[in-house]
Structure 1
Amino acid sequence: MPPPVSALTREQYAGRACCWCGTRLWRGAVSAGIARGRQGAHVLDAEVWACPACAEARPCPV
């Protein structure tokens, strides 16, 4: 389960950095699922990505 949207940096939210460790995703990225979040009536959900090392350590529950 990825972290909530409120815990992500701009780079992580945009999919340019690992959602767990913050490493730039220059080469290879694994989908980490959907980070959930809301601000009032606005849904801020975003697909987030992980580096291969973090993806291996935290497998997706799907």
Structure 2
Amino acid sequence: MALEIRPECERCQTLLPAEAATALICSYECTFCSACGEYMDGICPNCQGQLLPRPAGKARSGA
């Protein structure tokens, strides 16, 4: 099963393209930028899970 690569931070709406190295996710794939992750002490506000670096994906073509 593939990860759902959400395009922006759920807190500040910073764009996080698939290849962004600064994206963080929890086990439910809630997505945050590194600045918001640091502000939240690495804990997801939705599920209280740990935020970890999201694996980088490939950029989508504009098809």
TM range (shorter): 0.3 to 0.5
TM-score, normalised with respect to structure 1: 0.47
> Which is richer in helix?
1
Task: From the two aligned structures, give the one with the greater strand fraction.
Answer: 1
